[in-house]
Amino acid sequence: MLGIPSCKQVTELSSLQLDESLPRLQRVALRVHLMMCQSCRRYVKQMELTSDIVQRWLTRREMPEAVKQRLLAQWREQRPQDPS
Amino acid sequence: MSKKIDNTSLPSDEVIIKALAAYDSKMFEKLSQAWYSTMYYVAASIVGEAIADEVIQESWLSVIRSLSQFQRRSSLKSWVMRIVANEAKTRLRKESRMISMDQYDNWHGEDRFDQSGHWLDQQSAWHSDAPDDILQAEELNNCIQKHLALLPESQRVALTLRESKSHSLEQICNILEVSSSNVRVLMHRARDRILQVIQRFEREGKC
């Protein structure tokens, strides 16, 4: 169908629309496709979830004590000396 | 259980900047702790895990020194993450290394479609719509880690910079020195691959 993306193109758009807003016509065409296609509705939702999951995953590492001590030592060096 | 560090417990950028300018050690400690993980992965995606912590240290030095130049055009966190990425890239250059662009990419996402671009099989649903529910399984956390490490380098950098909410697609183009259509492909493939990892875990319970 003219202008309506294929499922394969929808998977590509599902990533892009997380990064930039799509042109209006493309947004409408995407919505029309999604109305007709359950697999793509699922995929688009899962793409958003995947992005959220990676964002959360990126915050899970804990700072090792040695790193913390080094950073604090460096911070103290940067700090102007108290006049006392 | 994965431990999340909640950014909402930090005060506004305005308050943070004032506190740092006044050399408030408590604020520095809180901030460096809260942002450590993201800084680590941003640095590691570019220079590798072995020297990520060194890059973080250098980055904080730059942040403290150039705080007065922060323009408030973005959030403080994005600005700090961009400094981390730049420090990492500088480090890479010093060691005459580059972000590899021509790594063999065994992405085969196209196999899921027929010639007219329709799904060959129905996409199956996941057990939940909530990221926290899905990340409950510690095994999936490890699985994501494994597959992020297996991504071609340029895809891993693009995904990390983007999902750390610090870089626009255009800024990622500049870091990777690729065109905007290239960076869209990298983003889609990286996210699609992690999506497929979660999909398999949802379906088969294994990595």
Q: What is the DSSP string of B81-104?
A: HHHHHHHHHHHHHHTT----S---
Boundary of a domain, candidates B94, B118, B150: B94
Mean pLDDT of B10-24: 94
The pLDDT of residue B1 is 39
Domain count, chain B: 2
**Best to test chain A binding among B192, B193, B200 (most A CBs inside 10 Å):** B192
Does the pLDDT of residue A2 top 80, yes or no? Answer: no
Its ipTM equals 0.89
Query: B101 lies in a domain?
Result: no
pLDDT at A24: 94
> Considering chain A, what is the average pLDDT of its residues?
92
Given this model, what pLDDT does residue A82 score?
56
The three-class DSSP label of residue B179 is coil
In angstroms, the Cα distances linking B132 to A33, A54, B150, B151, B157 are 29, 11, 23, 23, 24
What mean pLDDT is predicted for residues B190-207? 94
Name the helix (H) or strand (E) containing B187.
helix B180-204
Distance from CA of A13 to the nearest CA of B (A): 8
Q: Are residues B113 and B52 in the same domain?
A: no
Contact B28 A7 (CB under 8 A): no
Is position A46 within any domain?
yes
- Contact indicator for A46, B126 with CB cutoff of 8 Å: yes
> Which CATH number fits the domain that encloses residue B151?
1.10.10.10
Does a structural domain hold residue B99?
no
Whether B2 has a pLDDT exceeding 50, the answer reads no
State chain B's mean pLDDT as an integer. Answer: 91
Domain boundary among the residues B94, B120, B137 is at B94
| pLDDT at A1 > cutoff 60 | no
Whether A1 maps to a domain, the answer reads no
Question: Is the domain of B15 the same as that of B59?
Answer: yes
Alpha-carbon distance B74 to B62, whole Å?
A: 17
Least CB–CB distance from B187: residue in A15, A52, A78: A15
* Same domain (yes/no): B76, B139: no
**pLDDT value at residue A81:** 64
- Write down the pLDDT at residue B8: 55
Give the amino acid at A76.
R
pTM of the model: 0.90
Domain that holds residue B32: 7-94
More confident residue, A61 or A80: A61
Q: Determine, yes or no, domain membership for B87.
A: yes
- Closest partner residue to B144 among A57, A61, A79, by Cβ? A57
For residue A52, pLDDT over 80 is answered with yes
Q: How close, in Å, is residue B45 to chain A by CA atoms?
A: 11
Tracing tokens 């999506």 back to the chain, one arrives at: B195
Cβ of A43 and B132 within 8 Å?
Answer: no
Residue with the two structure tokens 């992405």: B107
A53, part of any domain: yes
Q: Which domain holds residue A63?
A: 7-78
Out of B23, B165, B194, closest to residue A50 by CB = B194
Q: Is position A27 within any domain? A: yes
Of B94, B128, B157, the residue at which a domain comes to its end is B94
pLDDT value of position B72: 87
Average pLDDT over residues B1-20: 75
Report d(CA A33, CA A4) in Å as an integer.
6
Instruction: Give the pLDDT confidence of B55-70 residue by residue, as tens digits.
Output: 999 999 999 999 999 9
Q: How far is B98 from chain A (nearest CA, A)?
A: 23
pLDDT at position B3: 47
Residue A35 inside a domain? The answer is yes
What would the pLDDT profile of A7-37 be if each residue is shown by its tens digit?
999 999 999 999 999 999 999 999 999 999 9
- Best to test chain B binding among A9, A16, A20, A49 (most B CBs inside 10 Å): A49
Among the partner residues B33, B61, B159, nearest to A74 by beta-carbon distance: B61
Residues B200 and B121 in one domain: yes
Evaluate if residue A42 carries a pLDDT over 80: yes
Residue B101: its pLDDT value, please? Answer: 75
